[in-house]
Amino acid sequence: METGIIALAAALAVAGGAIVGVYEAKVAIAAVEAIGKNPDASSKIQGMAIIGAAIAETSAIYGLLIAFLIIFILGA
């Protein structure tokens, strides 16, 4: 019973990653469109897109860390 609730809590903590995945894909779409419009600036756009995606990814990783904490500390 208790293990099940801990597993559920961990799953909920990483569920936020789904939204991050959608919007990170939007970053990729925007980058591809921008490169299509302006191929000369591709190296600059690439760097910006990667930074944007990396910063957006942080929230997903926080969720993942909290899931780890829940599993390894509460579940132990």
The binding site for other proteins (CB under 8 A) comprises 47, 50-51, 54-55, 57-58, 61-62, 64-65, 68
For residue 39, the surrounding DSSP H or E stretch is: none
CB-wise, 61 or 74, nearer to other proteins?
Answer: 61
d(CA 38, CA 13): 39
CB-wise, 26 or 72, nearer to other proteins?
Answer: 72
| Residue 18 C-beta: closest distance to other proteins, Å | 15
CB-wise, 34 or 53, nearer to other proteins?
Answer: 53
| Residue 61 C-beta: closest distance to other proteins, Å | 4
d(CA 47, CA 53): 10
d(CA 61, CA 11): 13
Q: Give the type of residue at 17.
A: G
